[in-house]
Amino acid sequence: MNRNLIILVIGVLALSCRKKEVQLTQTTPLPVVEQDGAKITFANDPHTLSFFEVDTVRTENLAGTFEAPASVAVTIEVPTSPGGRGTVLFDNPDLGSTYSAFLQHLINIRTNRLNLERVQDLSQHGAATGKEVLDAETQLANEEAAITEQEAKLRIAGLDPEALKKPVREEAWLLCEVPESQVQQLKVGTPCRVQFTAYPSEAVMARVSGMGAEVDNVTRLVKARVSLPNHASKFQVGMFATVAFDMKSGNALSVPVRAIVNVQGKDFAFVATAPNVFERREVLLGQQVNDKAIVLHGLNAGDRVATKGAMELKGISFGY
């Protein structure tokens, strides 16, 4: 077979292969993308579906570390003179206003309580009427009811109203959010490690000083408060940090790491709700243990997630 004939045969074979590829492309329907990319439906084509592999989210005995982004929400400076009040700074102006109202109600309560005692004493000696006593009792009751609202706002934000009444230590309070499923492992005194963005070479050991009074209805996250000594005002309001908690659980959900894709700082997995249907789920992960990642939120035991083909699903879902 001469050289020209060989070239001709190769050209015919290449053209034949190209025609088959074109025919395959034309006869294979494109996936249907719905809900802004959150749902992807493929045709029931065995050839296409064989490209994907799934694995099951399981409950396993795993231990790891959960890292939560945090920021300094409050700094406290001790009073400079005996009997003085420390200076409290907030990174949130609304919380600052709530705290100011809280302090004002404390002052009003003390004033109204003294006034009630005075009026009651006058009444016992016939120098004040029953109506004056009732008015004084009403004013005190109104102030006590009003301060309850301010206390609730501070507690929901993860702060401690009692400690704010008369701060006596130089401290920085960091706030972070932890999944509802991990709250049972956190309590006052639980140790943690804090890494500040401003001090990347330093790791500060700290402890949980309190938990928020509310679970977010959407994210299912709870605020955790971490307190640190703050000598010489080293930590300032608004500073960013990462708080690491050691989580040990004999009932932890895990997922293969290759099932996770990351987009703009968020982690996602694609759950196979049918052989040809994948739904995108945002997930919150704990520590990676070998080839598994602890799932803190977003998936349930028994969910089947795409492992092989996850990156292709990412491209289809997010459009790149």
Indicate whether 28 pLDDT > 80: no
Q: Most distant CA pair in the chain: distance in Å? A: 132
Spell out the domains of the chain, with CATH numbers in brackets: 31-63+251-318 (2.40.420.20), 65-72+167-248 (2.40.30.170), 93-156 (1.10.287)
pLDDT for the residue 29? 82
pLDDT tier at 117 (50, 70, 90 boundaries)?
Answer: very high
Indicate whether 4 pLDDT > 50: no
Least confident interval from 9-13, 28-32, 100-104: 9-13
In the predicted model, what is the mean pLDDT of residues 238-262? 87
Please return the burial class of 271, using the count of CB atoms within 10 Å of its CB with bins 0-12, 13-18 and 19+: buried
In the predicted model, what is the mean pLDDT of residues 210-232? 88
pLDDT tier at 84 (50, 70, 90 boundaries)?
Answer: low
pLDDT for the residue 78? 79
**Who wins on pLDDT, 152 or 21?**
152
Please return the burial class of 272, using the count of CB atoms within 10 Å of its CB with bins 0-12, 13-18 and 19+: buried
In the predicted model, what is the mean pLDDT of residues 191-196? 94
3-state SS track over 228-281: EECHHHCCCCCCEEEEEEEEEEEEEEEEEHHHCEEECCEEEEEEEEECCEEEEE
Least confident interval from 126-135, 213-222, 276-285, 310-319: 213-222
pLDDT tens, 131-182?
A: 999 999 999 999 998 899 899 999 998 999 988 888 878 999 999 998 776 7
Would you state the structure tokens that stand for residue 107, as one six-digit string? 């002052």
What is the percent of the chain where pLDDT is above 90?
56
Would you state the structure tokens that stand for residue 41, as one six-digit string? 């439906």
What is the percent of the chain where pLDDT is above 70?
86
Q: What is the DSSP string of the chain?
A: --HHHHHHHHHHHHHHHHHHHHHHHHHSPPPEEEGGGTEEE--S-HHHHTT--EEE-EEEEEEEEEEEEEEEEEEEE--SSTT---EEEESSHHHHHHHHHHHHHHHHHHHHHHHHHHHHHHHHTTSS-HHHHHHHHHHHHHHHHHHHHHHHHHHHTT--HHHHHS--S-EEEEEEEEEGGGGGG--TT-EEEEEETT-TT--EEEEEEEEEEEE-TTT-EEEEEEEEE-GGG-S-TT-EEEEEEEEEEEEEEEEEGGG-EEETTEEEEEEEEETTEEEEEEEEEEEEETTEEEEEES--TT-EEE-TTHHHHHHHHHT-
Would you state the structure tokens that stand for residue 281, as one six-digit string? 């789920």
> Model pTM?
0.63
| Selection from 167, 172, 151 nearest residue 85 by Cα | 167
pLDDT for the residue 7? 40
pLDDT for the residue 201? 92
pLDDT tier at 242 (50, 70, 90 boundaries)?
Answer: very high
With contact defined as beta carbons under 8 Å apart, do 26 and 307 qualify?
no
pLDDT for the residue 85? 64
pLDDT for the residue 27? 63
In the predicted model, what is the mean pLDDT of residues 264-273? 94
Least confident interval from 109-113, 125-129, 251-255: 251-255
In the predicted model, what is the mean pLDDT of residues 82-105? 87
Residue with tokens 């409950």: 59
pLDDT tens, 34-56?
A: 999 999 999 988 888 999 999 99
Distance CA 132, CA 116 (A): 9
Torsion over CA of 175, 178, 182 and 187, rounded to 10 degrees? 0
pLDDT tier at 5 (50, 70, 90 boundaries)?
Answer: very low
pLDDT tens, 278-298?
A: 999 999 887 677 788 888 889
Indicate whether 25 pLDDT > 60: no
Would you state the structure tokens that stand for residue 228, as one six-digit string? 């640190």
